[in-house]
Amino acid sequence: MADCIFCKIANGEIPSTKVYEDEHVLAFRDIHPLAPKHVVIIPKRHVQNLNEIDQLTEAEQLALLHACKKTAALAGIEVSGYRIASNCGPDADQSVQHLHFHVLGGGKLSVNMA
Ligand code: AMP
């Protein structure tokens, strides 16, 4: 998608601090962290949100799930704990219209984070 900021990050047009990458997904540090550790995981191929996840292949969908675990391990929060969140649509205040999962941790999380 030409004007999608996460597509631009995925193809290197906009810089990001990469945490994890494979063939299907990219994980990078959130620019406005809501927790001591806050990483965003995206599929490299554009879909708007979870409502469109069927447009991704099963390999892409599995890669997203595995990236959650791998990102938590790389961020050093797999034992202390973390939250995975995905805002979907207007009532959830989804601000970037490219599917993404927030990985939050590194300290006690409040209920309304992400
Ligand atoms: P959401 O509100 O769930 O759509 O989350 C979008 C997230 O993307 C927010 O937490 C933003 O801080 C984050 N974000 C937006 N632009 C960038 C960027 N260029 N690099 C890293 N994170 C970003």
16 lines ligand 1 (CB under 6 A): yes
Q: What percent of the chain has pLDDT over 70?
A: 100
Q: Which fold has domain 5-105?
A: HIT family, subunit A (3.30.428)
State the average pLDDT over residues 84-95: 97
Ligand 1 contacts CB of residue 108 (under 6 A): no
Angstrom distance (rounded) from CA 24 to CA 81 = 25
pLDDT for 50: 98
Give 32 Cα–ligand 1 centroid separation in angstroms.
7
User: Which candidate in 24, 98, 100, 102 is catalytic?
Assistant: 100
Whether the pLDDT of residue 113 is over 90: the answer is no
Give me the chain's average pLDDT, please: 97
Q: Is the CB of 95 under 6 A from ligand 1?
A: yes
**Residue 96 CB–ligand 1 contact under 6 Å:** yes
93 Cα: distance to centroid of ligand 1 (angstroms): 12
Please report the pLDDT score of residue 114 as a whole number.
77
